Structure formats: structure tokens, C-alpha cells
Structure 1
């Protein structure tokens, strides 16, 4: 049986100074993830594979990975029914904190760990290093609610998008929007930007893009916390989707996997072209980006080229990392985590979440997979 762990893994609280995100909504989302994976298995007990894996494997973190994790955990369960695996989509910051506190064995984060977190990670990982693997690559969609507009995608230059979210462009028929969308009957209607209310790696990725590509129209630093007060907002990706869907004239940023049929999406200005989101365009910008300056053989972090003008790239992309330990306190934990990550990184696992009807993620390339597999191979008991 695959169920949400309700023991000490769920009881640990974040350290002082970092706000826990998700609350009851996070618990409901976690229940949804595991219900999708374990539906119909509630009466089967907790089987142990003959000569195989067993035990619990709790994880938590970025809500952007929620749909992908449903698919990954389902595939993992098919091969290893003796392991009770779970993922609580409470958000990147809370997931990192739960990982560092030892509340979960792995985590998902839309941003790499900072120096302080990495230092804490050495204690949590029994003297080993934190492993950071870019296993989930997905475009961030700019979604809007303008029924009857008639355009498949609304074209927005990065400076225009930045001005919208900075509160400088307030009507949908603004000349800057109209200039990029000839022939589209734009309504004389208020623009209502919607942002994440919780600290979010998706927000950091979005504000990184606005800061890099939006020029002087975006005067704020990249941040997990939305830098403008008094805005319309929603908690988690699902909360932003609900807020946009509930009112016409709204526009917000969400993981592309969670775009609903009720919403339209923006094609971003890249050089002389406008590029809609796609897995292929997201993969193209990651391939064109260098590794982060502090990347290692275990921490495969990327410095995304947000301001690229390379044709066919979609620079508003989220690279969500899976966090694990180089060393664990038991052979069982090390083996379970290593086996799950091997499946997530495998061609089968990547193709599973790349399906448009699942998460529409961009599969990692063969060169990156080789580095990921080498890092996973270093996971062992202390």
C-alpha cells in the first residue's frame, strides 16, 4: 500500500526564521498526490519485495513538481511495491527545510541551496554533501484569462511583461501590448496581475527572468518572495490557477504543466520572434546555458540564460532540482533514495513525465543524464 507517512516525518517543524508554507492546503495536495498513485491499493497492506526494497521514503518540496512526482512515484511503485513512498508539495522553501531537519529523505526545490543551507546539509547528510540534480525541466507559462480574444497566443515583449507585473501597464489595450499584437481586438479592460503569495522557487525563476530580460521596466531583485505588496495572489501553483480562472482580465505565472483549458498563454519575445512555451524550447535554453559557478560533480546546478536571443528558445523556464544526501544513516535509506532517483533520471522516467497528458516536461539530454547517474552512484550509507 502506498500511503502518506503520518509519523515523525510529518511532525517536524521548520526551523525558526523560515515560514512553513502549504498548511492544510499542502496536506490536501499531498493526499491528492498519493491518492493518484495508490488508488485501489488501500487494502493491500505494505508488501515487502522478496529480496527487494522495503521501508518508507518520504519527500516534500516544490509544488511545480507535483504532477511529475505523481507519475514518478507511480512508476517507482510498480517496480518496488515494498516501499511506501510519498511527496508532499508544500513548496520549495518548506521542502528544503524539511529535508535539512531530517523530516524527509529527499526534496524538490525550484532554486539551488544557498551557502548556509549547504553548510547545514553536511550535518544532515552525516558528513556528506547535498546532491542537487536537475531532474525536472519545465517552462513557466504566463497564463491569462481573456475569453473571446481570438488569438492563440498573446505576444508580449519582456519589457512589456515586466511593466505589467510592475503595475505600470494597467489596461489590456495599452499601446505596448497592441504593437506586438496587430489585428487583435484588445479589450479596454483592467490588467490584474496575479502572483504567488507563498515563498516560491517559481517566483524566483519568474523574477530572475524579469530582472534579466525586462530592463528598466523591472526595478526589483530576483526573489522567492513577491516584491510588491497589495497584489492579487494565490498560494501554490494551484492557488494562482484558481485566482486567474476566477476572474477575467487576470494574468499570472504558473508551471506549464498546470495550464488548464480555460486559460490562454503568452508567447514571449525572444530576439525578433515571439516563442510560445514548449518542452522543446525549454530544453533548448537549458542546453544553451552554462553550469553555475559553484556547481560540482554532485551539485549539477545551471546558470540559465534568461536574456537569450537564440531563436527557438523559451527563456522563462524552471529547472527544479531533486535534493538528496551523499550519505544516509542506513543502508535502507541510501538504497531507496538511490533507486528512486535512478528511475526518475532514466529514459523511461523522463519520458513518462514528458508526455503532454502528464507533465509535458523537457527530458534531460544524454550528456546531462550521464553526469546525473554518476552523482546518484555516490549515494551510500554513512
Structure 2
């Protein structure tokens, strides 16, 4: 569906606050006349809210070394970001999933030249934590089948034998489980349910979904903050959320092979390196097929991998130059460390960085 003129204006208006923030960063002395940068101009990006905190850090850092550049990122959500990019209202997109091959074939990508493919790569990796609030229980160990049955409503009490067998030292109460899920369309939900569908297909029928099926019940909450609040203030609650937002809540170790693995940035990054790049795509489309069923040691399988998407060849050369430099900054060690500090994400590995940089270098 084409964006209407009104929708495009809204998309541009939506980044107004970030524009002011970006300008304020430049005026505050974060950049200087002797920075050595010859870049100038502005670019607009839109998409995944999961990247919001990281994007704020990346924008500030990039503008520190390029004081005549303004980068605006509107965290409207993955779906809206992909649509905005396709219809030419933004120069790049953030997305919690790669474009599907049929979406790429169908097009269009109005910011790109007519004969251009897309550049797509993982830029933000975050573990998704299972958070819970059960009095007297500080940690739990669960396998995929048990998690699937909890969130599908098949296991309803905390002292269920399936939970007790994996947590023999825990004092599990005879208390109802309240499983909290996102009420909104969510990339976090899609990645969480993709794990359930891959690792426990017999116990999880809905597959990988962005929107929670109403027939499964449970408690719905708006956004990551809503899930965290519902789990925190509830009794016998469990939910899923970006690990950086887990705070002081108790969390679950997930069974991988014969071991239980706690989430960590390192364990989240490890599964990306352990997973293959999807076939049937362009040379610079680095969509990852996450291996949720891996038994490799030290790997945490419930992760959100968020992508940046741009054009191999832009119709506007000014966009090409700025997007190319901004993407390069994001995947640099400095850029990835900034995101880790600001958002608790897992820096991409040097192996993946080399592959991504080749894709970025192709932008023209």
C-alpha cells in the first residue's frame, strides 16, 4: 500500500523531536570546527523501537565527529519503518526482522535507484529475558517445552511437576501462573514465539507471530514497559522483555543441549555467529536464520536481532554518502560499544563486522 501524502508528512513530523535533539547536540559543543569531517546534510530513518536507545547514542556519537550532519530516527515500530522506507519517506529503516524475499521482489523501494537491491544487516542484538515474580523464588531453570506450555496455558501452577523436576532446590508455591504477553504488534513477541515454534513445536502451535492470539489467554500489556510493570506488580507473574529492562526481576535460565544458560550479551551474540546467513538473497542482504535449536555451549537462544536496511544504490547521492558513513559508524567497535552501554545490547562479533562492512561498502 502506498503512503498517502498525509502519512508521509506525519512520518517526517514524527522525527521533529529527534531533529531538535540532534541540533541541540551539535550546538552544545559535541562537535567542533576542527573535527576534520567534510560531511554535511541530513538523513531520516525510521523503524524498530527496540533500537531507540541505541539510535539515540549512535546519533549523538556520529554527530560528535560530524557536526554538520543531522540524523533523525523515528522509533515508530518495525512494520511502520519498513513501509516508510519502501515508500521513500526515509533513507533507511530499522527492523526487528529482515524483509521477506517475497516483499523484496514485490517492492517498491522508492529511495533506491530503479535497478538497486537492498543492503540489510544485523546491527542490534539483544537477549530477550523471561522475567518472573514469585515470592521466595530467585531463579528458575526451564526448557523450551515447559516455557511453551506456560505461555499457551497448559501449565497453570508454579508447582507443576514439569517445573519442579527442573528446579529441585526451589520452593515452588501452589500458586496460579499469570503469563504476561504484549498486547501490541511486537518484534519482541515475534522473536520469542519464533523460539517456541522452533524449539518446542509440539507444545507451541501458533508459530512465529507478531501479535498474541487472544485464544491463548494470559494477561496483555502494552509495550515492553507495560510487560515489565505487569510482572513487577503482579503475583505469580511471568513475561518476556528486552533483557536490558529486566531490572531487579528474577529471570529464567534456558536449557540449551544438556545445560541451562542465563542470558548475557556474550551468549546472545554467540547464537548469531552460530547461525547461517539465509540463502536466496542479494549479495549484500545478510539476513540471519537464527538457529533456535542449537545445542552449542554458552549460547542463549531467545534473542532479538534487529536490522538496518538501506539501498545498494540510492536515487539521491547525498543520501548514499550519509547512510554509508552512518552505517559504518554504527557497526564499528565504538558504535557497538555505545549501544551496549546505552541499551545493554550485545556487540556484533568481529567476524560478523567484516561481512557487514563489505555490504556497507557497496552503498553508492
TM above 0.5, yes or no, is yes
Alignment of 1:56-205 (within 5 A): 56-119=42-105, 120-127=107-114, 128-149=116-137, 151=138, 153-205=139-191
Rounded Cα–Cα distance in structure 2 between residues aligned with 1:36 and 1:378: 30
Structure 2: state its 5+ residue gaps: 1-5
Aligned equivalents of 2:254, 2:186: Cα separation in 1: 22
Two-structure CA RMSD over aligned residues (Å) = 2.8
CA distance in 1, matches of 2:182, 2:172: 26
Shift of 1:326: 1.5
**Counterpart of 1:306?**
292
Query: For the residues of structure 2 that align with 1:121 and 1:256, how far apart are their CA atoms?
Result: 35
Q: 1:237 aligns with which of 215, 224, 230?
A: 224
Change (3 A) 1:320 1:336: same
Q: 1:53 aligns to what? A: 39
Deviation at 1:109, TM superposition (A): 0.8
Contact 1:193–1:251, Cα closer than 8 Å, also in 2: yes
Deviations 1:143-200 (A, max 9, x none): 1123442x2x311111000001101111222221111111211222221112222222
State the alpha-carbon separation in 1 of the partners of residues 40 and 266 from structure 2: 37
Return 239-248 or 49-58, whichever deviates more: 49-58
Superposition TM-score, scaled by structure 1 size: 0.84
Match 1:254 to one of 222, 226, 241: 241
Cα 1:77–1:124 change in 2 (3 A) is: closer
Q: Does 1:366 align with 2:350?
A: yes
Aligned with 2:70: secondary structure? strand
Uncovered stretches (5+) of structure 1, i.e. residues with no partner: 1-6, 14-25
The alpha-carbon distance between structure 1 residues 141 and 101, as it changes in their structure 2 partners (threshold 3 A), is: same
In structure 1, C-alpha distance between the alignment counterparts of 2:350 and 2:19, rounded to whole Å: 30
The verdict on how the C-alpha distance between 1:35 and 1:306 changes in structure 2, with shifts beyond 3 A counting, is farther
Pick closer, same or farther for the CA change 1:291–1:11 going to 2, 3 Å.
same
Shift of 1:250: 2.0
Give a deviation string over 1:289-329, Cα, whole Å, max 9, x none: 11112243210011111011222111111211111112223
Q: CA deviation at 1:340?
A: 0.7
Residues paired across the two proteins, number: 354
Is contact 1:34-1:70 (8 Å) kept? Answer: no
Residues 159 and 172 of structure 2 are in contact (CA less than 8 Å); yes or no, is this contact kept in structure 1? yes
Offset of residue 239 of structure 1: 2.9
